[in-house]
Structure 1
Amino acid sequence: MGDNKDWEASMRWLKDNGLTIALLSLFAICIVGQWISGWHVALEDARRHEQPGLSLFAYAASPQFLSSVFENWESEFLQMAAYVVLTALLIQRGSAESKDLADPDRDEHLERQAYQPGAPTILRKGPVWRALYARSLGLALALLFVASFVMHWLHSARAAAEEALEHGEAPLSVLAYLGDAQLWFESFQNWQSEFLSTAVLVVLSIFLRQRESPESKAVAAPNKQTGE
């Protein structure tokens, strides 16, 4: 009897958290794929330069690999932070990705809403905590962007320094590398694609549908309907 309850509880947990589990599983598959394929590229590059190649685990700690990882994370967190904040301020008429200005402001009078059943306790700790919590998602994503950018910068500077030394050149300092075109080329090439893909999603959601997705309007909803 107990085993059945444990099994049902496990299945319920998997169902309740299926979206996160699926996304993290895909992330794990992809980053392992990036790690292994990047290692093979590094080995081939070392062979062409008649240098010893790194082991698989040494490559995982190399600035080349870590720079590429944080370069991508940085652009994703920038996209999400900008999206969360901009959708709070701006609208796109007819898009499922936009709020509808005709709807009442759901977050008015937070000092009263703080005492509703189930409301987060932090809302009752005063106006400063309410103001911070009311913007905590955008702030958290912005901080993750900054942290990822700093890690991308530091590891990219290490990679550039190693390459400069291999060619007998004087490497830039970490601070000087912040003004190097290579760092900003790596960043902007990812940032532009994130903003383009988000803009495409916003516009396509006006006219197209994905059944049962919260990122889409109902299949039968009119094109002019804004929001879900």
Structure 2
Amino acid sequence: MRKWAKEHGLLVANLGLFLAFFVGMVLSGAASYSEDQQAHGEPAVSVLQFLGTGAFVEATFENWESEFLQMGMYVVLTVFLFQKGSSESKPMGRKAPQDQDPREARISSATPWPIRRGGMALKVYEHSLSILFFVLFLASFLLHAAGGVDEYNQDQQSHGQPVITFLQYLGTSRFWFESFQNWQSEFLAVGVLVGASVYLREKGSPESKPVAEPHYETGA
């Protein structure tokens, strides 16, 4: 068990932090939502009831969509673009291991199945990481809109205004404001990491160059 925990510690720690913060978001969100309901003369909701509201769905997936978009774009951009001196960039002026053609790899029992199979399976597998992130982004984007239109229509009805459809909600400034305010922050954070890793270090982290490495050295 100790060996397994050491081998998977980074994933386990991140999933644990996600669950802790997600529970915190749900509990505080339910309390905030109930306070808002009571301020408008409506009954408070339980935590389980809150999970079925458009407010919860909208808040959750508008954040998830920006994370998946940022990671998907970052994976794709680092294929083609470089940043001299950054640990987040592939090395410049020489081939990186990531650029090797898998069709020329020596096949063994440990070789991933799509490479042994070849054809379309290999073609998809070559881009499977970015495909995963963009599929998750699209799903989150649509769920954000689904939760948003539900919450928007509740507000409309409480003010005696007509409701709108899902497609109409996609054209509202509210939906795009929610999306852009999250997207811009994600790419700001990535930009800071890419630029800061040229000059700053974190000993022991694979996201940093070795502490004594010159600033101009590119790649981990």
What is the letter of the counterpart of residue 188 of structure 2?
L
Question: In the alignment, what sits opposite 1:146?
Answer: 138
Question: In the alignment, what sits opposite 2:89?
Answer: 98
- Is 1:16 matched up with 2:7? yes
Task: Give the TM-score normalised by the residue count of structure 1.
Answer: 0.93
Runs of 4+ in 1 over 4 A off after TM superposition: none
C-alpha contact 1:114 1:121 (8 A) present in aligned 2: no
Q: CA deviation at 1:117?
A: 5.7
The answer to which structure, 1 or 2, has the higher relative contact order (CA under 8 A, 6+ apart) is: 2
C-alpha contact 2:83 2:89 (8 A) present in aligned 1: yes
C-alpha contact 1:97 1:205 (8 A) present in aligned 2: yes
The 1:206–1:117 alpha-carbon spacing in structure 2 relative to 1, beyond 3 Å, is farther
Question: In the alignment, what sits opposite 1:166?
Answer: 158
Question: In the alignment, what sits opposite 1:79?
Answer: 70
Cα displacement string for residues 95-116 of structure 1 (whole angstroms, at most 9, x for unaligned residues): 0000013232433332121515
% identical equivalent positions: 41
Question: In the alignment, what sits opposite 1:6?
Answer: none
Q: CA deviation at 1:121?
A: 1.8
Task: Give the TM-score normalised by the residue count of structure 2.
Answer: 0.96
C-alpha contact 1:114 1:120 (8 A) present in aligned 2: no
Distance 1:82 1:17 in 2: 26
C-alpha contact 2:91 2:218 (8 A) present in aligned 1: yes
Q: Tell me, which stretches of 5 or more residues in structure 1 are unaligned? A: 1-9
Distance 1:90 1:112 in 2: 24
Question: In the alignment, what sits opposite 2:32?
Answer: 41
Q: Tell me, which stretches of 5 or more residues in structure 2 are unaligned? A: none
How many corresponding residue pairs? 219
Calculate the aligned-residue CA RMSD, in Å. Answer: 1.2
Q: How does 1:58-69 map to 2 (within 5 A)?
A: 58-69=49-60
Q: CA deviation at 1:126?
A: 2.3
